[in-house]
Structure 1
Amino acid sequence: MRWLFWFLGLFAAAVAVMLVARNPGYVQFVYPPYRLEVSLTFFALILLAAFGLGYILLRLTFVTLNLPAYVRNFRAERAANKGRTAMIEALRAYFEGRFAAAEKAAVRAMELGEKSGLNSIVAARAAHELRQFDRRDAYLADAEGKTVGETTMRLMAKTEFLLDQKQPQSALNSLKELSDSGMHKHIGALSLELKAQQQARNWDAVLEVMAQLEKRNAIDKAVASQLRQQAWLEKLRSQATDINALRSMWKSIPGEFKRRSKIAAAAAESFSKLGDCKSAQQLLAESLNANWDSELVALYGECHNENNTAQIEQAESWLKQHTDDPGLLLALGKLCMHQQLWGKAQSYLDASLSLEASREAYATLGQLAEKMGKHEEALVYFQKAM
């Protein structure tokens, strides 16, 4: 189709030239005593040629005048292209794990005039991986004062560096600066905050941040469950010196976690140390009735009341279903020994040892032998325990 238009245009031009060539008109120039006559066609061709020549001269003049600016722009564009190439090389090297090459390429990109703050961040991250902290901090300082997006990159990188160096409070300050800059806390920032709160042992904040991550479906359920368990464990241990605070804390723990053996064990130990054996045995019984745990049942015999008859009955009811559990037999042996039921205590402890030899069972048998006046036998048991 294009060639058809060209053909029609050439045909029309040829017709126009033929018509002009047959034009009888002329142009006369008079400057006394001279007179010049030329045909109208020739005069039109001269005008056209003069216009074309003038246009070419004008274009050459503009090109000549703009040549220095053109050369500057060309050089700047060439340097920018080299800078972008170096930046891409730095990114590739960083993600390949070639940190020295990444830092070198990022620095070269900055020297070539590449103004993106990404180069400073990549150089800082690479220097951090190389444990060159002075250079890392210098690159971070160079990235400061850029656009909002680059400020976010800088603060995120700074937070990660501080967490790697176990400086959680400084990391939290960096995250606060990020929030104050107007940046809404995204998943990456929340994940860093979770790690910082863990390092700072701010367990209430850990639970709060985890709730936000779970709401966004940004954390694995199993991982979240383990972190919640750790948080509640640490909160329990922090209240191990005040019985009222401990009771209040225990009430605030969700039922799902109360039945977990590790939390139940930590709570039982804390209640026992503070003299509330009744609460300790009650929560242990509830946890064991929900989920049996051989290590946890051994704690059931650690805390003694003045009358442990109910606890012995409870433990013996469990024995009907868990006849081969050495921890349960050990607990029964301790409870019976506290009630001065020497024969039953001896039989339960011997049964525990027949299933699994343990230092604690031998030590308890040594204590029992001492109470029964069998000092030589007690010495043998204590030696086996050691």
Structure 2
Amino acid sequence: MKKLIVSILLIVVVLAALLVAPQVVGEKGYVLISMGSLVIEMTVVSLVISVLIGLLVLWVIVRFLRAIKHLLSGSWQWFGSLSRNKRRKKFYRAIQAYAEGELEESKKAFQATSDGDFDGVNFLIAAQVAHEMGEWDRCQTLLSHAADYDHSRTAAILMHARLLLVRQEPSQALKVLETADENAAEHPQIIKMKAESMASLGHWQQLQNHLPQWRKTLKNDAVPLAQRAAKGKFAEIASKQGANALKQYWEELPRKKRHDTAFRAAYVQQLIEQGMHHDAQECLVEWQRKGPDEILLPLFRQLKMPNPAASISLLEAWIKSDEKNAELYSILGQVAFNAGDYQLAERALLKAVKLRESPADLMLLAEISERQNDNSRALAFYKQGMAANV
């Protein structure tokens, strides 16, 4: 509106100047235009005024045509808005139908959203629907469509790999995970799933090679994965070359790995599985001289020896320093039970139950009472254990 007013004022000023100037100068001037039999004669002022009026009319026509164009384009946007609303309703209905368990209806509703821009989310959920309907090829196609959207690409890769792992296809899952770009490759879930895929394939050495650079990203998940990788590697050596080869392999590992808690736990676990309980006890006692380790401590429960004196002595020493620790009493009770020392086991377990009522400890007390032919007491412990488990 401002521009229009300025333009009109400008035209008025020019016209005024043209009208006043000849009067001041005293010479109007004439223009003669001859085209065949047509002769046009006018003053210079009249010519300029005619030209200006012509330009003004042309400008008005242009503005009018633009207004019509905007009106028509607005109509198309209005119709497009109706279409988008329809697709949005179908999208919401598809999600509702999926939540209701109406998979066929959900599938049909999602098919009506394929032309809409939902950032690939519609394809992700539609893929889940297809998977639950047993349409695996269609599921993969939908996930590939979802991966075309930047905001859904990582989710599509993760979902595809997760479903492949469920289908027991870890090699394919690993291939899908490798398609992630440089930024997405650092996603904790992608790294975790890569580790799961490698573990499922038995690629223990490959997993061990990657874990040092993944530890910062995986955080608390790094230790169990490192333990699993080490255990797999140790199991592979023990099964192929025997227990002595396993011990030799451990001694030849770099000092850093031999001091890694995850590696130590995996090594002890493998020694126990090889029936080398004395060696396992020796490691557990030696490596926890400075105090109990939350990863190594539970492994005492698996020791089965006729005389686990070193373990019992260490556990009792810890209990003296921490008499309210129910876990230490529970582990002592388990070690004593495995060794056949039911009196010590019962005393330790009763103390553990008094501090913290654990169903596992109560069931173990019931078993001890059974072996001592005290059936009524055993029944009481069983009932108490079942009640605590609810």
TM-score higher than 0.5 here?
yes
Number of aligned positions between the proteins:
336
State how far apart, in whole Å, the 1-side matches of 2:152 and 2:202 are: 30
Report what 1:225 is aligned to: 223
Q: Which residue of 1 aligns with 2:45?
A: 41
Alignment-derived partner of residue 176 in structure 2: 174
TM-score by length of structure 1 reads 0.57
Residues 168-216 of structure 1 deviation map (CA, whole Å, 9 limit, x = unaligned): 221112224x16x88883325434323433444544444444433334x
CA distance, structure 2, for counterparts of residue 320 and residue 268 of structure 1: 25
**What one-letter code is carried by the residue in structure 2 that aligns with 1:193?**
K
Amino acid at match of 2:121: V
The structural deviation recorded for 1:127 is 1.9
Q: Which residue number corresponds to residue 285 of structure 1?
A: 285
Change (3 A) 1:186 1:95: farther
**Deviations 1:82-112 (Å, cap 9, x if unpaired)?**
777788889999999977899778644544x
CA 1:313 to 1:250, structure 2 compared with 1: closer, same or farther past 3 Å?
A: closer
Alignment match, 1:250: 250
Q: Distance in 1 between matches of 2:290 and 2:98?
A: 53
Q: TM-score, normalised by structure 2?
A: 0.57
The answer on 1:14 being equivalent to 2:16 is: yes
Question: In 2, Cα distance between the equivalents of 1:32 and 1:4?
Answer: 40
2:172 and 2:38 mapped to 1: Cα distance? 97
- 1:16 maps to a residue whose letter is L
Residue correspondence of structure 1 range 91-170 to structure 2 within 5 A: 107-111=111-115, 121-130=120-129, 131-132=132-133, 134=135, 135-140=138-143, 155-170=157-172
Cα distance between partner residues in 1 of 2:139 and 2:13? 73
Taking a change above 3 Å as real, the CA distance of residues 23 and 230 of structure 1, as seen in their structure-2 partners, is: same
Describe the SS at the equivalent of 1:163. Answer: helix
Tell me: CA distance 1:38–1:164, structure 2 relative to 1, closer, same or farther (3 Å): same
- In 2, Cα distance between equivalents of 1:333 and 1:270: 19
Closer, same or farther in 2 for the Cα pair 1:332/1:14, shift >3 Å? closer
Q: Does 1:25 align with 2:29?
A: yes
Pair 1:289–1:198, CA change in 2 (3 A): same
Map 1:285-324; keep pairs closer than 5 Å: 285-292=285-292, 296-297=299-300, 302=305
Per the alignment, do residues 34 and 165 of structure 1 end up closer, same or farther by CA in structure 2, a change over 3 Å counting? closer
Query: Which residues of structure 2 form unaligned runs of 5+?
Result: 324-328, 351-360, 380-390
Provide Cα deviations, 1:365-386, integer angstroms capped at 9, x if missing partner. Answer: 99xxxxxxxxxxx99599x999
Structure 1 residues 126 and 317, CA gap change in structure 2 (3 angstroms): closer
Corresponding residue SS for 1:302: coil
Secondary structure of the residue that 1:185 maps to in structure 2? helix
- State the superposition RMSD in angstroms: 5.8
Contact between 1:326 and 1:353, CA under 8 Å: does it hold in 2?
no
Q: CA deviation at 1:279?
A: 2.9
Contact conserved, 1:265 with 1:284, CA < 8 A, in 2? yes
* Alignment correspondent of 1:350: 343
| Distance in structure 2 (CA, Å) of the matches to 1:50 and 1:5 | 14
1:270 aligns with 2:263: no
Aligned identity (percent) is: 13
Where do 5+ consecutive residues of structure 1 fail to align?
Answer: 305-310, 336-344, 367-377
